[in-house]
């Protein structure tokens, strides 16, 4: 999918939409005055300050955040203390951690083979710096969002050097400012039918399977403080296809660990559907298996697709709320899941409602309601379901009297799962496949061959 129609939305348009920012006590002084103005809107649900998603997450030692489009953020208004932009205020009040939805992808940063354009990415970092938000970097290596020139320029002789130079330049530019980098995105694709499960991406075809090792090693050198994440979609369900893919991701992570590659977390994107099969015990076992490898799991891009939900907004909100409750109930009960981001914050900005999101349009033409705020920037029942799920989460750290903009809390990321019996990766009913364990002896797919990390040895 290309950079989308969302970018045609202006901040002015968002400014015309309503948001209710009650309970602003925990906001910094300059944003408190904006929140008080916004209270004129007669809020039904108070969402600011102590009522915000980030405050409820912090109380459990969790980090909550959202993906943003930096072009829509009123960076200038914030700097002059005058913003009334409601999208900006929502991001400000609700999130502790931000990710740029598109601005740090190759296609955004690389107008030509020999030039970088950091204007949007820098704008995003400026906003995060102004507001004390932490930042996820997304992403350094992906088969999508490659610039148009890439296929003409990249070849087997230069691809390794290109990937390395890109990572050194981008991760180096923001060194010390990034909470976590999605170093490699979506590298596994069972449909490509390789023994190791790897996707036949341009990077694989040009560099070979160790492009992953290269990407992680170079990122660690370029930004030693950032947590390094492998990010994947389509591994949440217990369907045969997703079960196989999840097993292949586990295999990949074991391979990286076995080779001493720095990796700290697996990102489970969590683009869920309101209808059809839902995540279940297979994913929980996966999260626990990842914990035994000493890694965290981040929920990196959660939203719930309501394309097929019959009825109006209420029916959509009921279905979506249930998915949030059930999914987060399972995932946030795991002590190695300290980070949760939504892919956007409102229906107005969701990629599922973008004009180019073909296949995602609802039959009745109404917008999808995948996120805690709707297309009018109003909180929905999903906001309440999400906030209740945060409240019910296993505390990742002792609830601390932290200010709203908390300093990094390494303890919040600490996996505490004790060593346990080997967890089997379920074998679904799929055509026979070569046994992948033979590729990576002595780290078979099934079982827990790698000892649990010592408390001090855990990397996050």
Closer of 185 and 414 to ligand XIL (Cβ): 185
**CA-to-CA distance for 266 and 288, rounded, in angstroms?**
12
List, in order, residues 6 or more apart from 271 with CB less than 8 Å away: 233, 301, 302, 303, 305, 343
Closer of 48 and 370 to ligand XIL (Cβ): 370
**Residue facing ligand XIL at closest CB distance:** 351
In the bound complex, what is the minimum distance in angstroms from residue 351's beta carbon to ligand XIL? 3
Cβ–Cβ < 8 Å for 360, 2: no
In the bound complex, what is the minimum distance in angstroms from residue 354's beta carbon to ligand XIL? 6
Q: Print burial letters for 234-272: b (CB count within 10 Å at least 16), e (below 16).
A: bbbbbeeebbbbbbbbbbbbbbbbeeebbbbbbbbbbbb
In the bound complex, what is the minimum distance in angstroms from residue 4's beta carbon to ligand XIL? 4
* List 58, 101, 186, 236, catalytic entry: 186
Closer of 185 and 334 to ligand XIL (Cβ): 185
Please give the helix or strand (H or E) that residue 184 lies within, else none.
strand 180-185
**CA-to-CA distance for 139 and 144, rounded, in angstroms?**
10
In the bound complex, what is the minimum distance in angstroms from residue 431's beta carbon to ligand XIL? 27
Closer of 4 and 325 to ligand XIL (Cβ): 4
Q: Which residues bind to ligand XIL, rule: CB under 6 A?
A: 1-4, 101-102, 185, 233, 269, 301, 351
Pairing of strands 296-305, 339-342: parallel
Cβ–Cβ < 8 Å for 368, 344: no
Largest CA distance in the chain: 65
* List 58, 232, 236, 301, catalytic entry: 301
In the bound complex, what is the minimum distance in angstroms from residue 134's beta carbon to ligand XIL? 19
Closer of 74 and 101 to ligand XIL (Cβ): 101
Tokens of 426: 């379920």
Closer of 159 and 341 to ligand XIL (Cβ): 341
- Coil/strand/helix, residue 142: coil
Please give the backbone phi and psi of residue 82, each rounded to the nearest 5 degrees, phi first: -120, 5
Cβ–Cβ < 8 Å for 57, 63: yes
Candidates 390, 416, 389; CA nearest to 288 is: 416
In the bound complex, what is the minimum distance in angstroms from residue 305's beta carbon to ligand XIL? 12
301 tagged catalytic: yes
101 tagged catalytic: no
Q: Which residues are designated catalytic?
A: 186, 301
């Amino acid at each position: 999918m290309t950079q989308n129609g969302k970018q045609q939305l202006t901040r002015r348009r968002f400014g015309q939409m309503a948001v209710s920012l009650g309970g602003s006590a925990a906001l910094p002084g300059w944003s408190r005055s904006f929140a008080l103005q916004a209270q004129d809107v007669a809020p039904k649900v108070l969402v600011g300050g102590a009522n915000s998603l980030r405050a409820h997450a912090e109380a459990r030692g969790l980090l909550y955040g959202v993906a943003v489009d930096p072009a829509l953020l009123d960076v200038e208004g914030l700097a002059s203390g005058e913003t009334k932009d409601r999208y900006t205020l929502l991001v400000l009040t609700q999130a502790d951690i931000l990710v740029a939805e598109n601005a740090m992808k190759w296609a955004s940063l690389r107008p030509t083979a020999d030039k970088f354009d950091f204007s949007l990415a820098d704008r995003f970092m400026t906003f995060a710096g102004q507001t004390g938000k932490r930042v996820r970097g997304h992403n350094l290596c992906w088969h999508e969002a490659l610039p148009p020139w890439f296929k003409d320029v990249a070849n087997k002789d230069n691809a390794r050097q290109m990937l390395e130079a890109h990572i050194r330049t981008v991760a180096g530019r923001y060194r010390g400012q990034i909470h976590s980098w999605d170093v490699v995105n979506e590298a596994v694709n069972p449909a490509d039918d390789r023994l190791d499960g790897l996707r036949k991406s341009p990077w694989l075809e040009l560099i070979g399977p160790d492009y992953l090792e290269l990407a992680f090693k170079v990122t660690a050198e370029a930004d030693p403080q950032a947590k390094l994440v492998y990010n994947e979609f389509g591994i949440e369900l217990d369907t045969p296809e997703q079960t196989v893919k999840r097993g292949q991701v586990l295999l990949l992570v074991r391979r990286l660990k076995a080779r001493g590659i720095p990796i700290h977390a697996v990102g489970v994107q969590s683009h869920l559907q309101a209808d059809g099969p839902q995540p279940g015990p297979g994913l929980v076992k996966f999260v626990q298996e990842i914990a035994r490898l000493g890694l965290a799991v981040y929920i990196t891009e959660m939203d719930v697709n309501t394309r097929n939900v019959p009825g109006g907004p209420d029916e959509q909100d009921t279905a979506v709320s249930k998915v949030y409750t059930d999914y987060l109930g399972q995932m946030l009960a795991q002590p190695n899941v300290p980070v949760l981001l939504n892919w956007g914050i409102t229906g107005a900005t969701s990629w599922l409602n973008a004009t180019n999101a073909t296949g995602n349009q609802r039959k009745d033409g109404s917008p999808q309601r995948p996120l805690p705020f709707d297309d009018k920037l109003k909180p929905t029942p999903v906001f309440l379901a999400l906030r209740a799920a945060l409240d019910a989460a296993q505390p990742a750290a002792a609830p601390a009297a932290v200010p709203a903009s908390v300093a990094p809390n390494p303890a919040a990321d600490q996996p505490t799962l004790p060593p346990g019996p080997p967890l089997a990766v379920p074998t679904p009913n799929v055509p026979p496949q070569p046994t992948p364990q033979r590729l990576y002896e002595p780290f078979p797919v099934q079982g827990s061959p790698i000892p649990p990390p010592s408390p001090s040895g855990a990397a996050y």
